[in-house]
Amino acid sequence: MSVKQVSDSDFNSVVINSKATAVVHFWASWSGGSKIIMPTLEDCSNSYSKVSFYNLDAGANSVTPQMFGIKAVPTILFFKDGKESNRHVGVVTKDKLRGMVDGL
């Protein structure tokens, strides 16, 4: 698998209504931390066949970040059965990210 792009227009259908287990990275092009995390997310997405990984550009999409109270990027939200089950703000190591995904 790979990290897919998601936007305000398809977030509900792709993440919430699908009821799939999902990891959503809220990022911005100006954020150095967001750029650091991208390879980690890509690597993890290739390790989990039953978890979907998404990037949502918070600079180009304002509705979804506001709906979830995203105040800083990078922020990663973890969804199980269409509901937020965990979140992490800031840069995360591969081991910590894997531990959070395993906890879903």
Q: How confident is the model at residue 1 (pLDDT cuts 50, 70, 90)?
A: low
Pick the CATH number of 4-102 from 3.40.50.300, 2.60.120.560, 3.30.70.260, 3.40.30.10: 3.40.30.10
Separation CA 26–CA 76 (nearest Å): 6
Share of the chain above pLDDT 90, in %: 92
Please check the confidence at residue 46 and state whether its pLDDT lies above 80: yes
- Domain ranges within the chain, ordered by starting residue: 4-102
Of the pLDDT bands very low, low, confident and very high (cuts 50, 70, 90), residue 92 is very high
Q: What is the mean pLDDT of the chain?
A: 95
Report the 10 Å Cβ neighbour count for 5: 10
pTM of the model: 0.94
